[in-house]
Copies of this chain bind each other. A is one copy, B any other.
Amino acid sequence: MTAIGFEKHDHNRCIATALAEAETRCADQKLQLTPVRRRALEILLQRHRAMGAYEILDLLAADGLGSQPPVAYRALDFLVQHGFAHRIERINAYTACAHPEQDHIPAFLICRGCKAVAEAETELEQGRLGAAAQATGFAIERIVVEAEGLCPACQEHPA
């Protein structure tokens, strides 16, 4: 929660909005946004960065919501499954989805210096990859697109 300053209020509102939207959609789709799942999403929204499962587990535990790994992994699986969060393979971490309203293929820019992660848009990856899949009869269910490199700040201050 560094350097949010006077935008803090806005961030709180944005968290509240996202949570409310999640609740609405879960109700619509008959999904159960249980306390553990809801709190996990809230944590991801609050920190607004990529977090490891164990880091989230610690925060859940602090609230008395489970203390063993499966609790965190199950909640995160649920959130990822339904598009409320994404898993970032390169760094084994999770982050709240930046636009959960629509179906999309997320793409991430991962800074290897400060570990910050930005979610970018991709057009449907169906360029060459989709063509290759179709040609071989492979049925794509999920696509991972992640770029690793250095953010502007870390380019200037090489650790």
Q: Interface of A with B (CB < 8 Å)?
A: 89-90, 107, 109, 111-112, 118, 120-123, 125, 127-129, 132-133, 136-152, 155
Contact = CB atoms under 8 A, between A and B. Distances in A.
Given A143-B146, A144-B146, A144-B147, A121 B125 contact: no
Given A90-B144, A144-B144, A139 B128 contact: no
Contacts of A143: 145-148
A118 B138 contact: yes
Contacts of A128: 107, 120-123
Contact of A144 (B112, B148, B155): B148
A147 B128 CA distance: 12
18 contacts: A90-B144, A107-B129, A107-B132, A109-B132, A118-B136, A120-B132, A122-B127, A129-B147, A133-B149, A136-B152, A138-B151, A138-B152, A139-B150, A140-B148, A140-B149, A143-B147, A144-B144, A144-B146
